[in-house]
Amino acid sequence: MKFDIFELVGNQEKVMDLILEGIKKAFYLLITFDPEVMKITLLSLQVSGTATFVSLLIGISIGVTIALSKFPGKRIVVSLINTGMALPPVVVGLFVTIFLWRNGPLGFFGILYTPTAMIMAQTVIATPIVMGITLAAIQQLPQKLRLQILSLGATRLQMVWILIKEAKLPLLAAVMAGFGGVISEVGASIMVGGNIKGYSRVLTTATVMETSRGNFDIAIALGIILLLLAYFINLILTQIQQRERPR
Partner 1 sequence: MRITIWGALSLLFFLGLTSAQPQPKTIILATTTSTQDSGLLDVLIPIFEKKTGYFVKTIAVGSGQAMAMGQKGEADVLLVHSPAAEKKFVAEGYGINRRIIMHNDYIVVGSSEDPAKIKGMKSSSESFKKIAATKTLFMSRGDNSGTHAKEKVIWKAAGINPEGQRWYQQTGLGMGQTLNVTAEKKGYTLTDRGTYLALKKNLGLDILVEGDAILLNIYHVIEANPTKWPKVNAAGGKAFADFMVSKETQEIIRTFGVDKFGSPLFFPDAGKKEEELGK
Give the C-alpha separation, 219 to 212, whole Å: 9
Closer of 74 and 102 to partner 1 (Cβ): 102
Of 115, 93, 135, 95, which is closest to residue 201 (Cα–Cα)?
Answer: 115
Binding mask 174-213 for partner 1 (x = CB under 8 A): --------------------xxxx-x-----------xxx
Closer of 214 and 246 to partner 1 (Cβ): 214
102 binding partner 1? (CB under 8 A): yes
**Rounded least distance, CB 200 to partner 1, Å:** 8
Q: How many residues bind partner 1 (CB under 8 A)?
A: 27
Of 139, 140, 129, which is closest to residue 174 (Cα–Cα)?
Answer: 129
Closer of 56 and 131 to partner 1 (Cβ): 56
Of 181, 180, 178, 169, which is closest to residue 138 (Cα–Cα)?
Answer: 169
For 115, other C-beta atoms within 10 Å of its C-beta total 20
91 binding partner 1? (CB under 8 A): no
Q: Which residues contact 27 (CB under 8 A, 6 or more apart)?
A: none
103 binding partner 1? (CB under 8 A): yes
For 142, other C-beta atoms within 10 Å of its C-beta total 9
**Rounded least distance, CB 182 to partner 1, Å:** 14
What letter represents residue 52's amino acid?
Answer: T
Binding site for partner 1 (CB under 8 A): 43, 46-47, 49-50, 53, 101-103, 107, 110, 112-116, 119, 194-197, 199, 211-214, 216
